[in-house]
Structure 1
Amino acid sequence: MDQISVAQANAALDIVHEIATLLDTGLDKEEVAILIALVENGVNPEALAEVVKELRREAAALKAAEDPSTSL
């Protein structure tokens, strides 16, 4: 990639990350970049969204199991 393409890609990532922040997705810039790369490589966006939601549910369940005081 030339410098202009890199700058355009970074600008696009900044915009998408800002949208993700406004939508309160909880995704950081690196996570947004990973998700974009997966979609660009053919991963179904709807399936990817379901995987992210499931991973969050699993993480919350594990956290609750480790710290029972958070489940009150």
Structure 2
Amino acid sequence: MQKGYTYILTNNNLTVLYVGATKDLKNRIDCHKDGKGAVFTKKYNVTILIYFEEFDNYHDAFAREK
């Protein structure tokens, strides 16, 4: 089974938080930084990774996100 990650992003002002889950953390963060992530993160410029957890099973990462 593929690893998974649950992560938290914020903006420059540290006023907005976004929680997500992915199978490829680096790629997903790059997508957010390029404005190709979620509409919410693009709208509020939420691109700074402040926390993540790694899971042996990506299903667990997506459950943690919820």
Scaled by the length of structure 1, what TM-score is found? 0.29
Query: Which structure carries more strand by proportion?
Result: 2
Query: Which structure carries more helix by proportion?
Result: 1
